[in-house]
Amino acid sequence: MTKAQIVGWAHSQFGKTEYPDTEALMAAVSGPALTHAGVEASDVDGVFVGVMNGGFSKQEFQAALVGMGNPDLANVPSVRLENACSTGSAAIYTAMDFIESGRGKIALVVGAEKMTAVSTAQVSDILLGGSYRKEEAEVEGGFAGVFGRIAQHYFQRYGDRSEELAMIAAKNHSNGMANPFAHMRKDFGFDFCNTVSEKNPLVAPPLRRTDCSLVSDGAAALVLAGEETAATLQRAIGFRARKHVNDVFALSRRDMIAFDGPRRAWQGALADAGVTLDDLSFVETHDCFTIAEMIEYEAMGLAAQGEGYRVVRDGTTAKTGRLPVNPSGGLKSKGHPIGATGVSMHVISAMQLMGEAGDMQLSNPNLAGVFNMGGAAVANYVSIMERVK
């Protein structure tokens, strides 16, 4: 069986952009991704689109928009995937299955979201679609309130870790200064992130504004090819392993701060890859909120449960640390256009592995870990990636 490999990519600026809709956003990255890969639209056997939507736009049937923005792709079979905040990874994995099943040789994956065209109240309500509305729709603060509740439970069990959350926010904003695609390229520093103020109010206690990822527009695309095809192209990033694990949707029916789904995804991916965390050069992880990144340290095995704070305090996850986490700035600095996020995380990691990350570049990375999460640790995707050409 041939293995799917990443052979090209493109990434838009994230933030409040001039692009009017996802059609324009996807058009901005689909053509450049094909050019970067060195393939033509006529070579593409399938298009896989990641857009959550959920009310950001009245336009559904988003898969067909790729062909509207890029007419050369209008007759290529196209399908849309949605899996909350892990929508982009769902699109990637489905495209990989398409190639590895032998149904096609080259696939284009495009992830996008236009979030800033609706009101803050609408954004909050749409994002609650990533929660179990039967039980969680009335949580104060919307989806931020869900993670505020997670933080409250975590603090009750393990102690107040607000300072460490501020350290994570400051780390990611500092890293994001080097990311030309980032929504917020500003180094706020620890003191600002750790202080409740008019500019940094409590959003969903104990989470402050600096503990929450940004509402952003953006798109990212990548091109996948089978090994034989990839061997004829300029670059190739392989997957040593990939794992998708789900957990129970409703928070009431599981330990909400255990992040058991992410833990099982990490354990499975590392086992399949035959590596440990010590073998990884860096990790791009899903810091939709700083509390998520801290618990993810524990889920990936960097720290025992309740001790995730230790690895940010001792510098383990700093850009110059033993295992840099979110050298791109993460969702916290880069932004979180829902459908684009999983694709962006894989593109940024591929850039690092190819030595094409510019000012973000780490020194000689050879193995990357990517963790993308849908909902409150419900749909969990872990990729272990390496350069093969």
Neighbour tally for 60: CB within 10 Å:
11
Is 90 exceeded by the pLDDT of residue 1? no
Distance of CA 70 to the CA centre of its chain: 25
pLDDT at residue 377, rounded to an integer: 98
pLDDT at residue 298, rounded to an integer: 98
Separation CA 10–CA 29 (nearest Å): 5
Is 90 exceeded by the pLDDT of residue 274? yes
Vertex 313: Cα angle to 308 and 319 (nearest 5): 95
**Residue 47, CB-side half-sphere exposure with 13 Å CA sphere:** 32
Separation CA 83–CA 49 (nearest Å): 12
For the segment 57-80, the average pLDDT, to the nearest whole number, is 97
Is 90 exceeded by the pLDDT of residue 180? yes
Neighbour tally for 132: CB within 10 Å:
18
Asked whether the beta carbons of 244 and 224 are under 8 A apart, the reply is no
**What is the average pLDDT score of the chain?**
97
Q: At 370, which helix (H) or strand (E)?
A: strand 367-374
For the segment 253-267, the average pLDDT, to the nearest whole number, is 98
**pLDDT tens sequence across 300-334:** 999 999 999 999 999 999 999 999 999 999 999 99
Separation CA 186–CA 152 (nearest Å): 28
For the segment 116-136, the average pLDDT, to the nearest whole number, is 94
- 185, with CB counted inside 10 A (0-12, 13-18, 19+), is middle
For the segment 67-71, the average pLDDT, to the nearest whole number, is 97
For the segment 36-55, the average pLDDT, to the nearest whole number, is 98
Separation CA 321–CA 344 (nearest Å): 23
pTM of the predicted model as reported, rounded to 2 decimal places: 0.98
pLDDT bin (cut points 50, 70, 90) of residue 252 is very high
pLDDT at residue 142, rounded to an integer: 87
